[in-house]
Structure 1
Amino acid sequence: MSPSECLSALQAELGDAVVSLGAQIVGRRFADWSGLPAAAPLALVRPRDTAEVARALAVCRRFGQPVVTQGGLTGLAGGACTGANDVALSLERMNHIEAVDAVSATMTVQAGATLQAVQDAAAAAGFMFPLDLGARGSCTIGGNLATNAGGVRVIKYGMARDQVLGLQAVLADGSVLDGMHKMIKNNAGYDLRNLMIGSEGTLGVITRAVLKLRPQVADSATAWCGLGDYADVARLLGQAQRRLPTGVSAFEVMWPSFIGYMFDHVAGLRSPLDTRHDFYVLLESDGAGQAQHAQVFEAFLGEMIEEGVIENAALAQSQSDAAAFWRIRDSTADFPILMPDLIAFDVSFPIADIGRAAQQTDAALRTRWPDSTVLTYGHLGDGNLHLIVQVPGGGQATADAVEALVYGIVRQYRGSVSAEHGIGAKKRDVLGHTRSAAELAAMRAVKYALDPCGILNPGKVLPAD
């Protein structure tokens, strides 16, 4: 069947108010932040509810028409990029916060709601939604769940999948999985909720979710620490987790390469310390009572300095101080402007191996490309390492060589090629570095069972068989 027949059937089924063609979709962006190429799709479908998503997919399944689901287009792996033969399914209209249940501490939302909107609605109701990342104002809950997003609070609250109790999703044939439950305990058969989360739109389209809310944090204590070696960084993490009564809510580690580059290139950043160190840690702990929590946190920092774990530290005395500390870490948002040809990595290692793996990777890159810029930072508490590489004058062949080197080291340490941004199109050919042949075969079997015609996000996640 020709694509034109499918487009006609979509318009007949859903109408011009939902289905846009040709000149009607000119001027929109259809690529995410990965830098991978994308093209305007054959059609843009903007459903208003789950029923319209189901009707659209049923038509596309009948005609074998590929469909790419899109949220806020803030992904970094190319998972939402469309090709010229695709139909784009945007959930931008399905953006409502449907309900907040204060008794069960849950929020029911549509998948097109932005993360910021969910956080604000939770705060207005006296709760907190802990998932947080820099693209909060643009990224959507559906995209967060489809990629199993992480962010800066994973160490205490977990990944996106840990924030969900129930889920609604539409399968490739238009059937609806309606698992909008509010129970924490639900061992009734296979966990289809977690099968959908992290599947990047290849198994189904997430349309609604029941999110877990947490008690609002009364206060946070934040410190900027300078340390002498990675062993001390790991020791600080362990001691903070053991000795701080409310635990660690953020533990961001930055290597000197990252700090030096940011202070040199981003206006308005100020170093919290007047001393130089081999490692810098942004440590934060959520508390229940401001005065007592601040005292315990400050005493802990003093003990770590006395024990020689921390060389120097600055304690945030106000929310503006804490925001200034976080501004240094969040300055990564300027990377696309500062380094438009950067090669970015989002990988993970066992925490015990991160220091050694980072040092090995940095040395190997600088040896092979002496003029390269290599910046290292990460959420150490959850094993997530970010690496930014720029090779002056390097083209695609250089980028391929850099990726082969870095992912080779990831494989050596049995790490993961994707810590929190998914596989998409960008990493599908290195998925085998992280997953065994048996695991890949099981993934293909699941994909075929739920989407036998292969219409959902083709060419993403799974490598070519």
Structure 2
Amino acid sequence: MIPETILADLRLIVGANSVKTGEALDLIHPGSDANNLNAAVMVAPRTTVETAAVLRLCNKQRIAVVPHGGRTGLVGGGVSATGQIILSLSSMNNIEMLFASAGTAIVQGGVTLHAVQEAAACQHLSTGIDIASRGSATIGGMISTNAGGMEAFRHGVMRQRVLGLEVVLADGRIMSDMAQVPKSNEGYDIKQLFIGAEGTLGIVTRAVIRLAPPDAITATALVACISVDAATSLFQQLQASHTLHLLRAEFMAQNYFLTAVENLGPPSLASIASAPIYLIVETDAVDQASAQSILENALAEGIEEGLVLDAILAQSEKERGEIWNIREDSSVIDRVYPNGHWFDISVPLQHLESWLKQFDEGIAVLGPDVRGFAFGHLGDGNLHVGVAGTASKPDKEMVKSIIYAHLREMGGSFSAEHGIGLDKKAELTTLVNPVKLDLMRTIKSLLDPNGIMNPGKIL
């Protein structure tokens, strides 16, 4: 338990209403992991200076600090325990400046992605990154996990969206590298250490975000492809087209698609031809009035070339929403098959066909009551993979051996966009180069010698 004297000191720093315990904390949703609020103490500083004072106190007293953004993480990165404190950035949620002419925004770490998207849209700009949890995921959390999403093949992940950072270190020092330009070669790019560090090296309090031109989505289609290789060929053709702009290309293997359509509907989507692979593609075109017909012609060419079996083009915003629902409501798999394990991997596109074949064959060996599901972002090879039993959970280690087999040799990654947290520490130890691991430990010991920053996560 945190001593009452420490709680009193924290209240002096941030104000009594910004330290939550007991019933006040019970009102807060734990997010994606029921253990996120186990520390039973949450501190919500309102400024960088307050954040620094909190960390300075906790470092001196050797009290562990678990940073929280929107609590949407899926690998246990926000799990806390008794004797620790949760540091929430919920009160640091301002968009300080947005420069339309430069296409940049200065934001605090606790602002949600959706809030930045809305502010950018008012200036005819976008964030260049989008994820399904946009309403609760915070920019600081997305930076700390190096979030990706469906636009990464065009605009990159958070590493490419961040121009500058302000970070509070474990000892309370403030590192400010708030450059607002992409070209800033001032020695080591230290800010990159904190992108993807999951709060184990410091707290991201402010950031300069690179914005992008807005998407003018004018055509959406659900596409049935004859194979994975055909799907990747279609992706490359659409991306290289001079008549349309490919905005999104989302991937669904057959088992995922059929389960989602059967349980989410509408029946019209189930009428598409049976295929091993389905895509959702969205495009715009220079001539927006004919964008639908341009995409339709491109898909007709795909049919002629033997890449595409069938396609359904959305004729209204309602139909577009129905198509996207089968991809974004991926929790439908958990509702139908609750006895499952999920993985977040990246596979190079040239190996995607062979990896999926290997995956399907491996799942078949586990028995007739085990189901495998794969979907994700085709453009960057990021797959979300689920394996579930109809009656009980399959052995997780056996499933891992199937999913990770040959993945490193292929040039892929066992952690695409969700991070390491608690859940993937074993994979990090066994699959990552030992010299890289040693350098990570050296950096951790240098920046957080007392080990107070999100202890037990990653390393």
TM-score > 0.5 by shorter chain: yes
The Cα offsets for residues 133-171 of structure 1, whole Å up to 9 and x where unpaired, read as: 111111111111111111111111111222221111111
Number of residues paired by the alignment? Answer: 459
Deviations 1:43-63 (A, max 9, x none): 210111111111100100101
User: Aligned to 1:63, which of 61, 64, 89?
Assistant: 61
- Indicate yes or no: 2:449 matched with 1:452: yes
Aligned counterpart, 1:334: 332
Cα separation, partners in 2 of 1:328 and 1:100, compared to 1, 3 Å: same
SS of residue paired to 1:20: strand
Query: 1:50 maps to what in 2?
Result: 48
Q: Deviations over 1:315-351 (max 9, x none)?
A: 2333333222212211214344334432111101111
Using structure 1 for the length normalisation, give the TM-score.
0.92
Structure 2: gaps (5+ residues) = none
> What SS class does the counterpart of residue 280 from structure 1 fall into?
strand
What is the DSSP-based 3-state SS (H/G/I as helix, E as strand, rest coil) of the residue aligned with 2:206? Answer: strand
Correspondence for 1:102 among 78, 100, 103: 100
1:372 paired residue number:
370
1:298 alignment partner in structure 2: 296
Question: What amino acid maps onto 1:145 in structure 2?
Answer: I
Instruction: Tell me the TM-score normalized by structure 2.
Output: 0.93
The answer for the alignment partner of 1:41 in structure 2 is: 39
Q: Which amino acid aligns with 1:305?
A: I
State the partner residue of 1:406: 403
Give 2:419's aligned residue.
422
Task: For 2:400 and 2:151, locate their aligned partners in 1 and report how far apart those are by CA, in whole Å.
Answer: 28
1:359, distance to aligned residue in structure 2 (A): 1.8
Q: Which residue of 1 aligns with 2:435?
A: 438
Residue 200 (str. 1) matches residue 198 (str. 2)? yes
* Alignment match, 2:310: 312
Is the 1:273–1:314 Cα contact (8 Å) retained in structure 2? no
For residues 173 and 68 of structure 1, the distance between their equivalents in structure 2, rounded to whole angstroms, comes to 15
Displacement of 1:449: 1.1
Contact 1:287–1:293 (8 Å) recurs in 2: yes
Does the residue aligned with 2:49 lie in a helix, a strand or coil? helix
Is contact 2:228–2:277 with CA below 8 Å preserved after alignment? yes
1: CA distance, partners of 2:87 / 2:183: 33
1-structure distance, mates of 2:90, 2:105: 19
Tell whether 2:356 aligns with 1:358: yes
Match of 1:163 in 2: 161
SS of aligned partner of 2:218: strand
What are the equivalent positions in structure 2 for 1:24-35 lying under 5 Å apart? 24-30=24-30, 32-33=31-32
User: Does the 8 Å contact 2:218/2:284 carry over to 1?
Assistant: yes
Which deviates more, 341-350 or 272-281?
A: 272-281
Asked if the contact 1:226/1:310 (under 8 Å) is kept, the reply is yes
Q: Is the 8 A contact 2:363 2:371 kept in 1?
A: no
Aligned equivalent of 1:14: 14
SS of 2:55's partner is: helix
Distance across 1 between alignment mates of 2:360 and 2:386: 10
Q: Is the 8 A contact 1:244 1:300 kept in 2?
A: no
C-alpha contact 1:116 1:136 (8 A) present in aligned 2: yes
Give yes or no for contact 2:66–2:86 (8 Å, CA) kept in 1.
yes
Determine if contact 2:14/2:46 at 8 Å carries over to the other structure. Answer: no
Alignment partner of 2:330: what SS? helix
Partners of 1:212 and 1:39 lie apart in 2 by 32
User: Displacement of 1:114 after TM fit?
Assistant: 1.1
Q: Deviations over 1:224-246 (max 9, x none)?
A: 21111222112112222222455
What do the CA deviations read for 1:273-311 (whole angstroms, capped 9, x no partner)? 532112111122233441254444333222222222212
